[in-house]
Structure 1
């Protein structure tokens, strides 16, 4: 069967003009607004660092009179725990930043996306630095006198009288500073998921109130 050209008007094959494109003036306006957002997000990293320093677990160690120091077997996991806690806090912070940034309808777009990604990562870096500095002062490192079983403490396992030692707590530390990336990833994913769920080319900016200059 031959299909007539009149059944398919020519205008049906013309690509539609893309909607939601930002003008140069709108992009410049977004940059100025996003810079303010970046400052606020990075400043929030200070509070994030304090929170981590308060909740991150330290590692208890024993020191004998001869100066030998060893960590307790039950405390060995705390090195990983402190890093994992920071990664979860940083990622959660990024998700919250991404969700709150999406609510600024008049500034939705690529400038805001890049801004919160960089700002969240920078905030996590600040949090890591501040948290590491505060972990020492916030950790109770007062030594406690203990007695060690000589058979368990010595490599030969020879029984004998207990060994006097002191128990102290080593402040929490972040095993890898690559964990700061979690904040940026969390912010980007939250923002993109909101954009996907909305499903419009202009990201809802057309219905938003006119932004202030």
Structure 2
């Protein structure tokens, strides 16, 4: 009763089985650290390049956004929109929002493709560049539109003129950086590696 497989009970737990394979402990890999110094110069390049995207964003919006047809109602230059023309105020804002979201998505995906520089430093730079692009887009876009629909001579009372499209909410400039951060974060979660795949090969 006190023996198991021909061995005393008090020895069965202490004597190793000669046919057992010893289990070696798995080596622990050190967790990759956040690289800051080596990523600073590439981060500056990402920020400036992404910010320059604001110029084509502004030009494209000034060509796509519809103007408002306005009627001159008095000699002082008072204007009144024609029927349904005031809806273009929303159209102008919505068109810019979609373009800014596309620009932010482009910045986030292209930045992620810089495999050797993946990490929070480049993400912050990409978000800052998208913010700069959003600011340039809202500022330069209105300037481009005003130049395109500039009125050469003073209109008479009753004339119908084209009023340049406007961006009436400054909050829309945050669309690009928000989309950049979202795209980069989703790609990071999808990757699932501790070093985000920075080590090639």
Cα separation, 2, equivalents of 1:181 and 1:64? 37
- Structure 2: which 5+ runs fail to align? 1-12, 14-22
2:165 pairs, out of 157, 168, 172, with 172
SS in 1 for 2:69: strand
How high is the TM-score relative to the length of structure 1?
0.75
Cα deviation code 1:2-52 (max 9, x no counterpart): xx9xxxx9x89xxx6662323xxx311111111011111111211111111
Change in 2 beyond 3 A, CA 1:49/1:70: same
Cα separation, 2, equivalents of 1:179 and 1:49? 13
Residue 133 in structure 1 maps to residue 140 in structure 2: no
Q: Say whether the 8 Å CA contact 1:142–1:168 is kept in structure 2.
A: no
Residue 108 in structure 1 maps to residue 112 in structure 2: no
Cα separation, 2, equivalents of 1:41 and 1:199? 26
Aligned residue pairs, count:
176
Q: How does 1:124-163 map to 2 (within 5 A)?
A: 124-139=134-149, 141=151
Give the corresponding residue for 1:158: none
Q: How does 1:1-213 map to 2 (within 5 A)?
A: 19-22=31-34, 26-64=35-73, 66-67=75-76, 68-139=78-149, 141=151, 165-207=158-200
How high is the TM-score relative to the length of structure 2?
0.79
4+ long deviations beyond 6 Å: none
More displaced stretch, 58-67 vs 131-140? 58-67
Cα separation, 1, equivalents of 2:62 and 2:115? 35
Q: Could you tell me how far 1:141 is from its partner in structure 2? A: 4.6
Cα separation, 1, equivalents of 2:75 and 2:152? 19
SS in 1 for 2:84: helix
Q: Say whether the 8 Å CA contact 1:46–1:126 is kept in structure 2.
A: yes
